Structure 1
Amino acid sequence: MLQYPAGQAPFLWRVEPAPGLHVAFTGVDAGNLAFHVSGTLAGEAARESTAAARHRLEDAMGVERGRTEYLSQVHSARVVPAQGRGWAGGRAPREADALVSATGCDPLAIMVADCLPVVLVSRPAGRDGITGPTAVAHAGRRGLLDGVLENTVHRLRQDGAGAGPGDIQAWIGPAICGRCYEVPEPMRADGAARIPATGSTTSWGTPALDLPAGADSVLTGLGVTVHHSGLCTLEDHSAYSHRREPGRGRSVGLVWQNQP
């Protein structure tokens, strides 16, 4: 597995789990990649800035401009299949929080600014080196507790991903950590009751949730091999954080293939 140097603009973290297959996460250097937040701009200027940022990102990925598929994320556990078409042309994105490419050939993106971006790749059972279905998922508190990751893995296996050791790998990208994600005590208790690994305490001693640990627990329990960026979006200013700067921007988790 080839891992690129940290901070290789526009990517905070990028790996190549198989030749031509890429997993990456952006930071603030890539610019705001969401049309529903405007940062310091407004109106048409904000939209033009986001479109330009998406184009620059696709140039760095080596995919056709406008080809990457995005979602309208609503903190759900809904998973939808890729449609083989991207964001260009003014198409309205579908409401869901996970996206699966059955062929593994569609460039997929998921937007975050503290919630977990989770990128998954797979191989068909017993076929080393062959790329299977791929997916991206937005695992915020609600989506994680409601089963977005379980639903995504189930869909990958429906589409042909293997169920053996290492057949599905997941990368948990930059997200708010369990030392920083302060929540009311009833919310911590609810999370820990559903996924015990989410129960946490902030570095200043108040109730918290550890979403990366919870996602790791869920995925590992499903037989998925998990990798972590280890970067906290609230602590590290190279990533967007809704808690630190609401409305400034969104980063993305990505998976794509470059054809030989």
Structure 2
Amino acid sequence: MLRHRDRIEGDLVIEVAFTDVTLSLGDAADDAVRTAALAEVAEATGATPVLMHQVHGADVELVAGRGDATAPTCDAMITSRPAVALLARAADCVPVLLADPATGWIAAAHAGRPGLAAGVVPRAVARLREQGAEPAVAWIGPHVCGSCYEVPADLQEEVAAVVPEARSTTSWGTPALDLGAGVRAQLSTAGVPDVRVVGACTREDRTWPSYRRDGADATRFAGVIWSHA
């Protein structure tokens, strides 16, 4: 099921949506289950879905067309091709979608704790600008909130040294990280003016997959962005 759909109309229509717990898109899912989920995404969007092999890094890959046999190993993708749906998968990390309505360039990024610190979202913005695009709109998908994402104090300090806005405290008073706040700060610094946030905590809301809540049993959902005439 696709939820929280949004669209921007220009020379090309750019659309975004987020799958939920009803579709299993993780690498650990059975091939048949993941294939069926991707087929549902394709039917709902009218676009060819493209997955990343996500590694919690900051590499950004250009998707030149449809039907690539191998998922790129990266944590962000960009394209200007209509009818290509870029997917960023998560189960507590932050799926971030970017668009330039004037040119039709789009991006999808997976920002977990390491990716946030490595700057995957600013790098995706920079790669779009290298193509002559100006990402004016960003969507931040459901993710574990700063009141739920407990981390050791030394890990909090490590991330906060790079992204101070990510420092947080759990609802029970221990060190935490607010990945969404960190991403919002990075988008602001990068000059993205329109940031739209889906206000859901994956750990608290069972309609979203959560590794923090379900451990190895957690599936993966995806932020999806595509364009069409």
TM-score bracket, shorter-length normalisation: over 0.9
Within-5 A mapping of 1:163-202:
167-202=135-170
How many equivalent pairs are there? 225
Unmatched tracts of structure 2, length 5 or more = none
Q: Residue in 2 aligned with 1:133?
A: 105
Deviation at 1:239, TM superposition (A): 0.4
Q: Summarize deviations over 1:11-35 as a string: whole Å, max 9, x none.
A: 2311012253201111112x1012x
CA–CA separation in structure 2 for the residues paired with 1:183 and 1:77: 21
CA–CA separation in structure 1 for the residues paired with 2:83 and 2:179: 29
Answer yes or no: is 1:27 the counterpart of 2:20.
yes
Q: Summarize deviations over 1:91-135 as a string: whole Å, max 9, x none.
A: 221210000003465321111111000000014xxxxxx343100
Q: Residue in 1 aligned with 2:39?
A: 55
Q: Residue in 2 aligned with 1:118?
A: 96
Q: Residue in 2 aligned with 1:41?
A: none
State the percentage of identical aligned residues. Answer: 40
Structure whose CA Rg is larger: 1
Moved more, 98-107 or 217-226: 98-107
**Equivalent position SS for 2:116:** helix
Residue number among 123, 128, 136 corresponding to 1:151 in the alignment: 123
CA–CA separation in structure 2 for the residues paired with 1:86 and 1:187: 39
Q: Is the 8 A contact 2:16 2:226 kept in 1?
A: yes
Q: Is the 8 A contact 1:104 1:257 kept in 2?
A: yes
Unmatched tracts of structure 1, length 5 or more = 1-9, 39-45, 124-129
CA–CA separation in structure 1 for the residues paired with 2:174 and 2:3: 30
Q: Residue in 1 aligned with 2:198?
A: 229
The 3 A distance-change label for structure 1 pair 173 and 194 is same
| Letter aligned with residue 33 of structure 1 | L
Q: Is the 8 A contact 1:70 1:108 kept in 2?
A: yes
Higher share of residues assigned strand: 2
Q: Normalising by the residue count of structure 2, what TM-score does the alignment of the two structures yield?
A: 0.93
Deviation at 1:189, TM superposition (A): 1.1
Q: Is the 8 A contact 1:32 1:248 kept in 2?
A: no
Q: Residue in 2 aligned with 1:11?
A: 2
Q: Residue in 2 aligned with 1:126?
A: none
Q: List structure 1 segments (4+ residues) > 3 angstroms apart after TM superposition.
A: 102-105
The 3 A distance-change label for structure 1 pair 86 and 241 is farther
Q: Normalising by the residue count of structure 1, what TM-score does the alignment of the two structures yield?
A: 0.82
